[in-house]
């Protein structure tokens, strides 16, 4: 057919026990053509999914700007549109395919438009085959491992008039010093690791993002110090499983060590996500408790409250172990807020097993939660498990679960009424330019009428009203 490099799930699954990822420090090399290929042209990147994808989107924008492309908000003005995709559940994928269908119209109006698909969906064999077959308007496909190849791929399209398809299914490398366009002036994401080796049986991430690979602590700290010097107030340390940080490195230190080192940079606020309970040590709990600039908020995915379901999910903890960790966080970190992820309708989940999940929600009384109906991902073990429950029953479980989750979100928010909290100001709220919003240390969205503050200020707000997903207050 061509020189396409296509994804391969069997290779993506392979892991070496002692894999230490190569660190590539100057991956982005632009030749003279590529350096000005985007001159007088506009780009638009549409990102779906998690914060790691958002961070990749910033790097993609950085690469395009290094090629002299200019950002545009207007799709009709764009000369290249890149869909940076998510594969976590089927409906995430459906949305992207719908969007490609919609963007075909722009391509008809402007045949020179380059349409690209990247991110986790591009790492899936079946998806790439489908795009090649059914969406010939897509000129460019690249995966999560090879952002640095974007300039040569665009050159191939614009200069040689060929489609460019290049996806690698391997463990992956670590790329330092990539250019990036930060989406916010006061809050920055800092990737501390990529990939995941947990292989929870429902999850596609270990296949699409590769083997766990941590950045060196010194590189992470250097980046945080830079951000602080540039005026950023908050960093979020990102990874699919941040608590496993460093396990793939020698003489580097683990996540507890990294948290302490990052806290000692003195940056005002530190957040981190996502935590896997299995890798969460007491020492990490201590690190969070010991530093005022590590925010008292932990996202601790539960997935299920039933031990048998947890076992079949490959989660490696029991409901009792989860509760012990939960108690430890609550007891040792004052006013800590805890949120979670829950899947209902995992193959074979019975009504009784679902009730265990509800019981866990009654115990943990989460501040916030993301709940999902199980979505079979082709190529994962859970997709092949016997599943006799109807979608209707699963939807009802989700509904019953959400009713309790909403109850506790609101109840937790009500505890803040009458208190004064520190809010990092994000700017005017989406719906009303006179109302500003920002987040409290516990990651509560706070809306308030502006007296005097600018984006990036940390101000006191007295909470006057609690809603399910936010708090209202007055600046003091």
Return the one option of ligand 5AD, ligand SF4, none that residue 375 interacts with (CB less than 5 to 8 A, by type). Answer: ligand 5AD
Question: Which of positions 156-215 make contact with ligand 5AD (CB under 6 A)?
Answer: 202-203
* 397 lines the binding site for ligand 5AD (CB under 6 A): no
* 245 lines the binding site for ligand 5AD (CB under 6 A): no
Determine the Cα–Cα distance for residues 309 and 329; give it in Å rounded to an integer: 24
Question: Which of positions 297-336 make contact with ligand 5AD (CB under 6 A)?
Answer: 301, 303
The pairing of strands 70-71 and 42-47 is parallel
The binder of ligand 5AD chosen from 372, 379, 404, 427 (CB under 6 A): 372
The binder of ligand SF4 chosen from 64, 153, 203, 424 (CB under 6 A): 203
Of the listed pieces 8-16, 52-60, 194-202, 363-371, which binds ligand SF4 according to CB under 6 A? 194-202
* 89 lines the binding site for ligand 5AD (CB under 6 A): yes
Question: Which of positions 226-245 make contact with ligand SF4 (CB under 6 A)?
Answer: 240-241
Nearest to 441 by CA among 220, 322, 293, 283: 293
Return the one option of ligand SF4, ligand 5AD, none that residue 339 interacts with (CB less than 5 to 8 A, by type). Answer: none
Six-digit token string for 452 = 């005097």
Question: Which of positions 271-310 make contact with ligand SF4 (CB under 6 A)?
Answer: 276
Return the one option of ligand SF4, ligand 5AD, none that residue 278 interacts with (CB less than 5 to 8 A, by type). Answer: none
**Least CB distance to ligand 5AD at residue 274 (A):** 7
Nearer to ligand 5AD, 86 or 285 (CB): 86
* Residues at the interface with ligand 5AD (CB under 6 A): 88-89, 202-203, 301, 303, 341, 343, 372, 374-375, 377
* Residues at the interface with ligand SF4 (CB under 6 A): 196, 198-200, 203, 205-206, 240-241, 276
């Amino acid at each position: 057919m061509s020189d396409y490099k296509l994804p391969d799930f069997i290779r993506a699954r392979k892991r070496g026990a002692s894999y230490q990822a190569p660190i590539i420090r100057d991956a982005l090399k632009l030749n003279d053509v590529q350096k000005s290929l985007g001159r007088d042209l506009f780009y638009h990147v549409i990102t779906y999914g998690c914060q790691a994808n958002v961070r990749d989107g910033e790097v993609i924008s950085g690469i395009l700007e290094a090629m002299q492309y200019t950002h545009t908000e207007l799709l009709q003005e764009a000369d290249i549109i890149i869909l940076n995709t998510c594969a976590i559940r089927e409906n995430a994928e459906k949305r992207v395919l719908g969007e490609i269908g919609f963007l075909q119209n722009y391509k008809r109006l402007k045949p020179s438009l380059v349409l690209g698909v990247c991110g986790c969906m591009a790492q899936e064999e079946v998806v790439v085959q489908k795009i090649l077959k059914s969406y010939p308007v897509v000129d460019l496909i690249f995966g999560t491992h090879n952002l640095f190849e974007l300039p040569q791929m665009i050159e191939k399209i614009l200069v040689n008039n060929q489609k460019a398809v290049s996806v690698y299914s391997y463990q992956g490398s670590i790329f330092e010093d990539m250019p990036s366009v930060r989406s916010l002036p006061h809050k920055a994401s800092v990737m501390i690791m990529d990939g995941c080796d947990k292989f929870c049986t429902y999850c596609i991430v270990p296949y699409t993002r590769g083997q766990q690979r941590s950045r060196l602590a010194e590189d992470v700290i250097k980046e945080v110090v830079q951000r602080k010097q540039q005026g950023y107030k908050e960093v979020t340390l990102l990874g699919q499983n941040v608590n496993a940080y460093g396990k793939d490195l020698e003489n580097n230190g683990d996540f507890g060590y990294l948290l302490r080192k990052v806290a000692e940079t003195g940056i005002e606020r530190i957040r981190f996500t996502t935590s896997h309970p299995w890798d969460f040590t007491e020492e990490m709990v201590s690190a969070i408790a010991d530093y005022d600039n590590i925010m008292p908020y932990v996202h601790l995915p539960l997935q299920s409250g039933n031990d048998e379901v947890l076992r079949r999910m490959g989660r490696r903890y029991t409901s009792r172990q989860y509760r012990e960790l939960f108690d430890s966080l609550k007891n040792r970190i004052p006013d800590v807020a805890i949120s979670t992820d829950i899947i209902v309708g995992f193959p074979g989940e019975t009504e009784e097993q679902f009730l265990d999940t509800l019981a866990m929600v009654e115990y943990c009384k989460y501040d916030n939660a993301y709940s999902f109906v199980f979505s079979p991902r082709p190529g994962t073990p859970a997709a092949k498990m016997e599943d006799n429950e109807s979608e209707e029953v699963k939807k009802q479980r989700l509904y019953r679960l959400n009713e309790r989750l909403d109850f506790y979100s609101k109840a937790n928010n009500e505890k803040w009424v009458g208190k004064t909290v520190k809010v990092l100001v994000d700017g005017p709220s989406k719906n009303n330019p006179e109302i500003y919003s920002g987040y409290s240390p516990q990651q509560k969205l706070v809306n308030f009428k502006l007296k005097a503050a600018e984006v990036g200020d940390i101000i006191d707000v007295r909470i006057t009203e609690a809603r399910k997903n936010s708090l209202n207050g007055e600046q003091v």
